[in-house]
């Protein structure tokens, strides 16, 4: 479960923030997860419930997906990422390292592989709130 | 917008005693061969060794060592496959050896992603095969792997050594430890760069003569370890403290 490692990364980061902000308790953490990475949100949620302790014991984690959109740097065409257009092996590779999409995905308009991720590339922590 | 992967990197590397980046200012000087054979030599000596190919656009350590058919195990992160007792990580697992052109931020994101999810566990040495130049890979390694030390590879050519001097200068400015410089592909006709290293404050580790037999040994670790190149590199490894 690669998702477990991502959940650990959230816990490490929020724990550090809680120390820095001198929170007695972390009440809520909002996390956005880009769909390009095809992370299983249920596994992330489960991992977080297993990993949270100390100041994070009662933390509510809100995990929300973000649609992945790509933009061609050559013709500026913008399109939505669609996992169903990829074969299983390629989808798995992008799941681990999303940038390898540059090896497999082409702009539907001009065929270039020089594109950027407009949104939905990865996971990030949007906000952390707590009680001092 | 906090990137939780950054904090994870120090946890993933917490049981790695030494991180050694094999680097150069120029391509084609033998970094990947030095990295690969250095990993083999250290592993043969009984150390726990990892090898990570950071040349994402032109990875070659898997070809030098003859690694194929491996893929990381997914277990609360990813576990690098072991090849001849070396834990080996490369972008080729994911790019399937297809062309991969990455701009700066895309390189950094791939680098951070792999470091954040790779579970090396206990290692004595993690060897990094760096891409050529002083670019995103060099800057990211310095930024996210604070205990990294550099071995710099050059050929006797002034074209290579002039860029190596810039790399040494950059690392010295950033107070990054340089183990020293290896002069590769030495031939009798060329002058020694050893004397010139004093002025740029880097130790000369030794020279490796040009070995015409090396190419035919790529893909076969037993043959690689019998080459003159390997014997000379092992002499250098025995002389230095890493």
ipTM: 0.89
Does the domain spanning B5-239 belong to CATH 3.40.50.720? no
Residue A115 in this model has a pLDDT that exceeds 90: yes
Tell me the domain boundaries of chain B: 5-239
d(CA A49, CA A26): 14
User: Cα–chain-centroid distance for residue A28?
Assistant: 18
Interchain contact B8–A (C-beta under 8 A): yes
Please name the residue of chain B whose CA is at the shortest distance from the CA of residue A95.
Answer: B94
pLDDT confidence of residue A68: 96
pLDDT confidence of residue B242: 67
pLDDT confidence of residue B97: 79
For B153-201, what is each residue's pLDDT tens digit?
Answer: 999 888 898 999 999 999 999 999 999 999 999 887 666 777 777 777 8
d(CA A94, CA A102): 9
Please name the residue of chain A whose CA is at the shortest distance from the CA of residue B56.
Answer: A100
Is B15:B118 a contact under the CB 8 Å cutoff?
A: no
Q: Say if the Cβ atoms of A98 and B113 lie within 8 Å.
A: yes
pLDDT confidence of residue B194: 75
Is A63:A40 a contact under the CB 8 Å cutoff?
A: no
d(CA B4, CA A5): 11
Residue B133 in this model has a pLDDT that exceeds 60: yes
* Gap from A83 CA to chain B (nearest CA, Å): 16
Q: In the predicted model, what is the mean pLDDT of residues B206-218?
A: 94
d(CA B120, CA B135): 25
Q: Say if the Cβ atoms of B2 and A13 lie within 8 Å.
A: yes
pLDDT confidence of residue A78: 98
The C-alpha angle with vertex B28 and arms to B27 and B29, in degrees rounded to 5, equals 95
pLDDT confidence of residue B188: 72
pLDDT confidence of residue B42: 97
d(CA B65, CA B83): 9
A55 falls in which pLDDT band (50, 70, 90)? very high
Residue whose tokens read 């760096």: B130
Interchain contact A10–B (C-beta under 8 A): yes
**Least confidently predicted of A39-43, A98-102, B1-5, B180-184:** B1-5
d(CA A98, CA A93): 7
d(CA B136, CA A109): 30
Q: In the predicted model, what is the mean pLDDT of residues A33-49?
A: 94
Q: Residues near B14 by Cβ (< 8 Å), separated by ≥ 6?
A: none
Q: In the predicted model, what is the mean pLDDT of residues B113-131?
A: 96
d(CA B59, CA A57): 43
Structure tokens at B111: 């680098």
User: B185-202 as b/e, with b when 16 or more CB fall inside 10 Å?
Assistant: bbeeeeeebeebbeebeb
Strands (E), chain A: 25-34, 60-66, 69-72, 78-80, 115-119, 123-131
pLDDT confidence of residue B190: 62
For B72-89, what is each residue's pLDDT tens digit?
Answer: 998 889 999 999 999 999
* Gap from B3 CA to chain A (nearest CA, Å): 5
Q: In the predicted model, what is the mean pLDDT of residues A97-120?
A: 95
Q: In the predicted model, what is the mean pLDDT of residues B91-102?
A: 91
* Gap from A113 CA to chain B (nearest CA, Å): 8
Greater pLDDT, B20 or B135: B20
Please name the residue of chain A whose CA is at the shortest distance from the CA of residue B1.
Answer: A126
Of A16, A96, A121, the CB nearest to B94: A96
d(CA A120, CA B62): 32
Residue whose tokens read 């479960």: A1
- Contact pairs from chain A to chain B, CB under 8 Å: 104
Residue B4 in this model has a pLDDT that exceeds 90: yes
CATH T-level assignment (fold) for domain A2-131: hypothetical protein PF0899 fold (3.30.2320)
Residues 39 to 78 of A: which have CB under 8 A from any B CB? none
Interchain contact B78–A (C-beta under 8 A): yes
* Gap from A84 CA to chain B (nearest CA, Å): 18
Q: In the predicted model, what is the mean pLDDT of residues B16-37?
A: 96
Interchain contact B213–A (C-beta under 8 A): no
Q: Say if the Cβ atoms of B109 and A122 lie within 8 Å.
A: yes
* Gap from A126 CA to chain B (nearest CA, Å): 5
Q: Say if the Cβ atoms of B101 and A113 lie within 8 Å.
A: yes
Q: Residues near B74 by Cβ (< 8 Å), separated by ≥ 6?
A: A1, A2
Is A123:A34 a contact under the CB 8 Å cutoff?
A: yes
Q: In the predicted model, what is the mean pLDDT of residues B139-149?
A: 95
pLDDT confidence of residue B191: 66
Q: Which phi and psi angles does B105 have, rounded to 5°?
A: -65, -35
Interchain contact B101–A (C-beta under 8 A): yes
């Amino acid at each position: 479960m690669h998702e477990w490692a991502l959940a650990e990364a959230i816990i490490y980061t929020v724990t550090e923030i809680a120390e820095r902000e001198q929170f007695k308790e972390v009440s809520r953490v909002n996390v956005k997860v880009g769909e390009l990475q095809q992370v299983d949100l249920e596994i992330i949620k489960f991992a977080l419930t297993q990993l949270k302790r100390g100041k994070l014991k009662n933390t509510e984690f809100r995990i929300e997906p973000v649609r992945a959109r790509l933009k061609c740097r050559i013709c500026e065409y913008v399109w939505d990422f669609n996992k169903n257009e990829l074969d299983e092996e390629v989808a798995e590779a992008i799941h681990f390292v999303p940038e390898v999409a540059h090896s497999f995905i082409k702009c539907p308009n001009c065929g270039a592989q020089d594109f950027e991720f407009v949104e939905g590339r990865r996971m990030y922590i949007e906000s952390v709130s707590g009680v001092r | 917008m906090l990137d939780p992967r950054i904090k994870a990197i120090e946890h993933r590397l917490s049981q790695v005693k030494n991180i050694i980046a094999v680097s150069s200012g120029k391509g084609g000087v033998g970094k990947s061969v030095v990295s690969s054979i250095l990993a083999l030599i250290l592993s043969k000596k009984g150390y726990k060794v990892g090898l990570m190919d950071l040349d994402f656009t032109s990875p070659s350590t898997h070809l030098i060592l003859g690694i194929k058919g491996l893929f990381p195990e997914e277990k609360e992160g990813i576990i690098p496959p072991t090849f001849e007792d070396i834990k080996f990580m490369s972008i080729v697992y994911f790019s399937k050896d297809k062309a991969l052109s990455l701009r700066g931020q895309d390189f950094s994101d791939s680098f951070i992603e792999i470091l954040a999810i790779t579970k090396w566990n206990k290692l004595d040495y993690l060897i990094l095969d760096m891409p050529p130049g002083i670019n995103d890979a060099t800057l990211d390694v310095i930024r996210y792997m604070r205990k990294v030390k550099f071995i710099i590879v050059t050929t006797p050519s002034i074209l290579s050594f002039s860029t190596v001097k810039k790399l040494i200068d950059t690392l010295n400015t950033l107070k990054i430890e340089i183990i020293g410089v290896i002069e590769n592909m030495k031939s009798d006709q060329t002058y020694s760069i050893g004397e010139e290293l004093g002025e740029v404050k880097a130790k000369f580790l030794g020279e490796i003569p040009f070995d015409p037999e090396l190419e035919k040994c790529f893909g076969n670790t037993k043959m690689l370890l019998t080459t003159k190149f390997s014997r000379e590199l092992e002499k250098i490894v025995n002389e230095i403290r890493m």
